[in-house]
Amino acid sequence: MMPSSDSRYELEVSRADLAQALKIVARAIGILPGDASFRFDNGCLSIEACNTVADAPARGTWPLPIFVGVSWVRRLARRMPAGEPIHLRVDAERLYANRYSEPCAWTPRYPPLSFKPPKIDEAILIPEAARILEPLRIRPSDLEELVSAAQARAAASWSEEERKMIAIVAKAWVLLAPLGVETADLRRLVDDAVRNAWK
């Protein structure tokens, strides 16, 4: 069900800015199903899916969030329609990017994905990490020593919230690592943000 027809949903977005935002969200969603939301506030279009938000400057009118299947985001991230700027609009319960369109809704069509990090099982995690690190000549025994040393420093009894945070940080680090960001840098930034949130 969409809002009444007198509500106008029309935005102009730079092709490059929209492409960048869609690519960020598409990388985060991978092959997961679900919805992406399109919100507009203070000249900024925010596209959100799977705990990832990407923004692009935009002009126009977009009163309420609109939800579209994440497949729309993946397709547009791979191949943007021709034209500059890109015109986003809603008409007859379809979200258009210039002439390309897919069905959309005023409310999410899928329940939010419950993100549950996997249970920690050293017998599985260490060999898998060793397989990934094999090109760097890291042996499983090296990783076993590393894990033992880390566990000796502090018992790793993570709460469910901490496991979620670690999974989110790891996902972000995969994107930032090629830019020279180390996990310790990102963890420090997150710790500071959490600490400052309570001031």
Q: Are 164 and 174 in contact (CB under 8 A)?
A: no
- The more confidently predicted of residues 85 and 177 is 85
Looking at residue 4, what is its pLDDT? 47
Question: Which pLDDT band, with edges at 50, 70 and 90, does 112 fall under?
Answer: low
Peptide bond between residue 85 and the one before it cis (omega within 30 degrees of 0): yes
The domains of the chain, with CATH numbers, are 10-105 (3.10.150.10), 121-157 (no CATH), 158-199 (no CATH)
For the whole model, what pTM was predicted? 0.52
> Quick check: 1 pLDDT over 50?
no
pLDDT tens for 145-174 read 877 777 776 655 556 666 676 777 777 766
For residue 43, CA distances in Å to 46, 55, 155 come to 10, 10, 47
pLDDT of residue 103: 87
Q: What does the pLDDT average to over 114-121?
A: 52
Adjacent-strand bridge partners of 60: 11
pLDDT, averaged across the chain? 77
- pLDDT at position 76, please? 86
Given this model, what pLDDT does residue 199 score?
59
Of residues 123 and 114, more confidence is placed in 123
pLDDT for 3: 47
Chain Cα centroid distance, residue 183: 18
pLDDT tens profile 11-63? 999 988 888 888 888 887 777 778 888 889 888 898 888 777 888 899 999 88
pLDDT band at 69 (very low <50, low <70, confident <90, very high): confident
**pLDDT at position 104:** 86
* DSSP-derived secondary structure letter, 11: E
pLDDT exceeds 50 at position 139: yes
Residue 81's pLDDT band, with cuts at 50, 70 and 90, is: confident
Cα–Cα distance measured from residue 148 to residue 134, given in angstroms and rounded to the nearest whole number: 20
